[in-house]
Chains A and B, each alone.
Chain A
């Protein structure tokens, strides 16, 4: 497998494992003109969300609206909320993948999921304005790219950096407990509300864990005049 494969279907290297691409000829890629980004093995391991999922947040294995969503509904801080759509579960493979993507600064890796994201956008959120969730400036310096913005850019639809996040925040989100996370107020602001006022806004983020980040953004955006809010995230933890 490590040697180059002559005459194989695609060329280049797998964005995840770095193997040379050895995609076999199947109906799946016979009529696909986009270049493959992941090898067959990695494609097989993708934890794609299939089957029943919460209609409001894509939480896998829920037929009806999940408890999390119901509790969000009760608080009803964002009344014009539509739903969250995610492409993948969060499993070991995805964890390793995100780690490389985010913390090692491998921004290009996201290209593997552009197609899936675009399809989800067209299917669920046609006409929405993508708004990536911003990173705190300090974190931005650390990582050198905002993964949410990279995903938004992949949609190939003009996106708006409507949200901003002032500099005043403690430890990384992943190190907090669920309760802490829910309580944290990120203090998003919308510096130029007129851009999104009266429009349907789609919040883009890499991961939907408790929904706190997304919901808070939604709340702020609605306050700034968004007609409705929804979110598209790569992963549903």
Chain B
């Protein structure tokens, strides 16, 4: 009990406050119930439900088990020589399983394992890692809110003993989903396949990490998630078809109502899908059984769905997808009248611009930076992706039932998609267009949130121009303040980051006179067989060092020091040097370098200047001198 409460208080506690304040305020404004009673009752209800939820979020495992029995509950996703899936035990506890294969045959065979199979594995229980680094991601917290407490690793070749197949409706749907995802993987070219996997079945794992990262940093990731738009299109299509066959309106409502949960499961059940499906279900249910002629405001529907989801799982509150999904839907609903008055083009510009503005406080809080391309890219590509690419992918998916490979002519579109992704990666990689502010504190976030609320409200009221300018100016001033804050801070900061092998040290000099990174950890590649090679092996340089630099709002490195050439100490620096503008890289001077070192230095040389240093030399960065202690005497190496 204490641990989750600690997480709650230490982490994103403010989110609770703000969301529930809005939620309570919304109901209060109904002025139907006693003013504070309604808000207070809701708060109590939520506090009670989340307390209950956390009390009952316990594991049935001790951590010493070496055998696990359960039902495969998700499609298997592959990465190199291993697969990942969720297992549901008989007690209903979910356990993420990582399954390492010894031979390629084993891997191929595992593809027959579909959701719903009940099997037994031998392996090892592990505790998920907590956030070791400031600003870092805590897998433990993430899993806790997913009601998962242990990781199970299956190694060594073994016969998996499968004894039954579940016939539950959800398992059957998951099985269907897994099959269709495999079909997409076979039928589509790589890039288009990844996009189809996420747009049609909500499977983001099928996208390459680089592309997904580009979508994220350009603020386009909301297009990738199955959401209200998809649900609207699908239910609209079903209504249309049923009407064609001559089914009554009442009946069609029932049919769609039954289809919504099916669709939600088929598309992976992400918060945005749940939101859309629940809202659509609520709306249809109201039409069907609600009092006649009584209108329900869509904002009320949204708030009710939000409340229901949070009562079911309070952990959604920390889910960035949940936060953005509800924030943006509410925003668009709240300004729908004004948008209708703005005309078509004004409308589109407004949607792109204001959505970015409204999501900015949340994005800064979670990602510490945003891209200047955001509005333009959203304006240009969100409609293309939703209204051209999505129907095309769907058509191609339907064709996969009929023919063996996509028609020749489609390759044009496929290369168009490749090209688009290239462009996204290119734009996302431009360091000048990314505004990196670092993690805003509570006060900055509150100022940003209040500023954009006032701005959007003033725009809606259409009268007070001065209010708009004023709120924009306040937000800008806050951003400038946050940007310049490190340059006025007289305290230096040295941070040791846990990067697995050894440390990575980030030295921030007082007044941000300079930033030095020493080593960056790294994964050692064992020259595996091709099938075993991971597409994106864990890179501490990316996941820890670069993430920490974002968190601190470090936009430029003066010096990166690679202390020696071992891959597990410096490989991670490759990503850092590539992503963050770096003045120079220091490396020990030597008469000759091994092949591995030469390769490494060549990789660094592409992005920065290399300075070879030697014991006895000293360099000044700002007011601080750095002395090189080793290697001494030219040719002698450590």
A residues near B (Cβ < 8 Å) are 2-11, 22, 24-28, 30-31, 35, 40
Contact = CB atoms under 8 A, between A and B. Distances in A.
Contacts of A4: 294
Contacts of B293: 2-3
B299 A27 contact: no
A9 B297 CA distance: 8
B461 A28 contact: yes
B335 A26 contact: yes
Contacts of A31: 453, 457
Given A9-B30, A11-B31, A3 B460 contact: no
Contact of A6 (B26, B296, B457): B296
Contacts of B30: 7, 9
B571 to A, nearest CB: 50
Contacts of A35: 31
A26 B460 contact: yes
A11 B29 CA distance: 10
A26 B336 contact: yes
B456 interface: yes
The 7 tightest CB contacts between A and B, nearest first, are A25-B299, A27-B460, A3-B293, A27-B457, A6-B294, A27-B334, A5-B295
A11 B32 CA distance: 8
Contacts of B334: 25-27, 30
Instruction: State the main secondary structure of chain A at its contact with B.
Output: loop
B343 interface: no
A24 to B, nearest CB: 6
Contacts of B29: 9, 30
B295 A22 contact: yes
Nearest to B330: A25
Contacts of A7: 30, 32, 296-297, 300
Given A6-B291, A10-B31, A24 B460 contact: no
Interface residues of B, number: 26
A30 B457 contact: yes
Most chain A beta-carbon neighbours within 10 Å: one of B291, B296, B297, B333:
B297
Nearest to A25: B299
Interface string B334-352: 1111100000000000000
Given A8-B295, A24-B297, A35-B31, 11 more contacts: A3-B292, A3-B293, A9-B30, A11-B32, A25-B298, A26-B335, A26-B336, A26-B337, A26-B460, A30-B29, A31-B457
Nearest to B302: A25
A4 B290 CA distance: 13
6 contacts: A3-B293, A5-B294, A7-B296, A11-B32, A27-B456, A30-B334
Nearest to A31: B457
Given A6-B294, A6-B296, A27 B335 contact: yes
B338 A26 contact: yes
Contact of B294 (A3, A26, A30, A40): A3
Interface string B15-36: 0000000000010011110000
A27 B297 contact: no
A106 B400 CA distance: 71
B403 to A, nearest CB: 48
Contacts of B26: 25
Nearest to B335: A27
A2 B334 CA distance: 24
A28 B299 contact: no
Contacts of A5: 294-295
Contact of B297 (A3, A8, A11, A28): A8
Contact of B338 (A2, A10, A27): A27
Nearest to B460: A27
A30 B297 CA distance: 13
A4 B32 CA distance: 13
B372 to A, nearest CB: 26
Nearest to A10: B31
A117 to B, nearest CB: 15
A169 to B, nearest CB: 40
B300 A25 contact: yes
Interface in B282-308: 291-300
Nearest to A6: B294
A7 B30 CA distance: 7
Contacts of B300: 7, 25
Nearest to B32: A11
A30 B293 CA distance: 24
A99 B299 CA distance: 37
Contacts of A2: 293
A26 B335 CA distance: 6
Nearest to A12: B31
A6 B296 CA distance: 7
A22 B336 CA distance: 16
Contacts of A40: 337
A114 to B, nearest CB: 17
A25 B457 contact: no
A93 to B, nearest CB: 18
Contacts of B298: 25
A35 B30 CA distance: 10
A71 to B, nearest CB: 31
Nearest to A11: B31
A147 to B, nearest CB: 26
Contacts of B297: 7-9, 24-25
Contacts of A9: 29-30, 297
Contacts of A27: 334-335, 338, 456-457, 460-461
A23 B431 CA distance: 46
Nearest to A7: B300
A22 B300 CA distance: 13
A55 B453 CA distance: 32
Contacts of B291: 6
B458 to A, nearest CB: 9
A211 to B, nearest CB: 26
